[in-house]
C-alpha cells in the first residue's frame, strides 16, 4: 500500500498478507471508465487525460502527463506505479 511505513509492515507481518502484484492501467488504451475507477483518479481527471491523449497523441512517459495543466507532480508520483505505456 502506497505510503505505509516499513515499521508498520514489520510490526504486523504475522497478520498481513502482502501481494506484490500491481495491476496497471495502460494509459494509451484505457477509457474514462477504467481510469476514473482507479482509487487515485477521479472521473474529471480521467476525462481530462483521455481528451488530452485524443488531441495530442499517445503518452510516452510521465513527463507527457505533466503537460496537462491540472496534473501535478505529487499526484503523478502517487499514481505512476499503476500506469504503463
Give the model's confidence band at 3: pLDDT under 50 very low, under 70 low, under 90 confident, else very high: confident
pTM: 0.76
Give dist(CA 51, CA 60) in Å, integer.
16
Instruction: Convert the pLDDT of each residue in 21-47 to its tens digit.
Output: 788 999 999 999 999 999 999 999 999
Over 90: is that where the pLDDT of 16 sits?
no
pLDDT at 2: 67
Provide the pLDDT confidence category of residue 63 given band limits of 50, 70 and 90: very high
Amino acid at each position: 500500500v502506497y505510503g505505509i511505513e516499513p515499521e508498520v509492515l514489520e510490526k504486523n507481518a504475522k497478520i498481513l498478507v502482502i501481494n506484490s502484484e500491481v495491476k496497471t492501467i495502460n494509459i494509451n488504451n484505457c477509457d474514462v471508465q477504467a481510469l476514473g475507477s482507479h482509487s487515485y483518479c477521479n472521473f474529471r481527471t480521467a476525462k481530462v487525460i483521455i481528451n488530452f491523449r485524443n488531441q495530442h497523441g499517445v503518452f510516452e512517459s510521465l513527463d507527457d502527463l505533466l503537460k496537462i495543466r491540472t496534473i501535478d507532480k505529487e499526484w503523478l508520483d502517487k499514481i505512476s506505479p499503476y500506469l504503463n505505456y
